[in-house]
Amino acid sequence: AVFGRSMENVVDIGRKMGVIKIKNSDLLSPDQLGHTPDSEVCILCTGSQGEPLAALSRIASGTHRHIHLKPSDTVVFSSNPIPGNTASVNKIIDKLFRSGATVLSRSVLTNLHTTGHASREEQKLMLQLIKPRYFMPIHGEFKMLMQHRQTAIDTGMDPNKIFVCANGDILILRNHEVLQSDWRYQGDDIYVDGNDITGLSTAVLKDRRILADNGLVAVVIAIDSKENKILSRPIIVSRGFVFIKDSQSLIKEAEFIVNASLQEKMKEKTTFSEIKNCIRSTLEPFLYKKTKRNPIVIPVILNSKQTMEELTKKRTAHTRSKRPIHTKKEHIEREEK
């Protein structure tokens, strides 16, 4: 008997292709299980990686509609836990033992593992049959992707046309050519605040995560919006990104690149929003290329001739309002000093 949607699909395709040879009379339907002696039944099911909704998980929890474990049952794991799934697989095995079943998994004494992945020679055969112009290995740890890359090189592929990407990397497909972009997409886990039903705090948690991992970079520029020109070269300040004293050359180069981009941008009339976008789109790819980190970039624009005058007025008014009142004697003493 076969249980689990993916397992049923695989067996069905295998039978149609002639790879799996099983007679119709040898396959049991769920309803026939109850009328067949246990010693004559073998069940193939999904859930070898501890997936919570798979057939084996429901069998172990006692919630499966058709299968209930007995002390005389034997469960065989013909798979290895994928790195990261060990804890969930161990939970399933523990539940199976609690049900009284005998559980066999791969160990020093038993070699039960049947791989679901192609071997290196099979991968080479696939590459030689398809003859791809571009190749991007997927699904696995970085070391596995690099080994798959080497396999492609061994078959004669151009190393420059093989892309080993991390989550968030972007490939551009244009005019039958493939290029790797300097831009990155935040393709990692999304954290949600359980107390916020609107989901608005998700952006806040995302920013906290980026700040914790990559830090912050502020770009301060002074402009004259009336004359549409930059009054001084941008100043870059960072927190939690790089140690300033050891990265002076990086900061100076970043300031130069941002300044050149802004000079080009402000040859024509522009808005504050466009200036900020120009700073981000110039600085973010540069910093990632140099450091492999994506800090939060905050542009700070000082509209010098207007904003600075207003700030000065506010500060003067604020100072006058808080100036202490002196007695006549104190006033004379201050004048003498």
pLDDT along the chain (337 residues), means of 10: 92 94 91 89 91 90 90 90 85 92 83 81 95 92 92 95 92 94 77 59 71 85 81 84 77 88 84 87 87 86 65 57 53 52
Q: Which residues contact 107 (CB under 8 A, 6 or more apart)?
A: none
One-letter amino acid for residue 114 of the chain: T
Quote the pLDDT of residue 9: 94
Which phi-psi region, left, alpha or beta, contains residue 47 (left: φ > 0; alpha: ψ -120 to 50)?
left
Quickly tell me which residue has 């030689």 as its tokens. 128
Angle between helices 120-130 and 142-154 (to 10 degrees): 60
Q: What are the helix (H) ranges across the chain? A: 5-17, 30-33, 55-61, 86-98, 120-130, 142-154, 201-214, 248-265, 272-291, 309-321, 328-336
Q: What is the pLDDT of residue 123?
A: 94
Amino acid in the structure at residue 55: A
DSSP SS3 for 36 = coil
Domains of the chain and CATH, by start: 2-104 (3.40.50.10710), 120-184 (no CATH), 204-309 (3.10.20.580)
Neighbouring C-alpha atoms within 13 Å toward the C-beta of 172: 8
Residue 337 has what pLDDT? 52
Separate counts of helices (H) and strands (E) for the chain? 11, 10
The identity of residue 24, as a single letter, is: N
**pLDDT value for 317:** 65
φ, ψ of residue 26 to 5 degrees: the values are -90, -10
Check: CB of residue 41 under 8 Å from CB of residue 67.
no
Cα separations in angstroms, 197 against 192, 201, 276: 9, 9, 31
Phi, psi of 252 (to 5 degrees): -65, -40
Tokens 């207007």, located at residue: 306
SS (H, E, C) 92-128: HHHHHHHCCCEEECCCCCCCCCCCCCCCHHHHHHHHH
Strands 44-45, 229-230: parallel, antiparallel or unpaired by DSSP? unpaired
Let me know the angle formed at the C-alpha of 62 by 72 and 94, rounded to the nearest 5 degrees.
Answer: 70
Q: Beta partners for 171?
A: 180
135 secondary structure, DSSP code: B
Q: How far apart are CA 256 and CA 279, in angstroms?
A: 12
Helix (H, G, I), strand (E, B) or coil at 50: coil
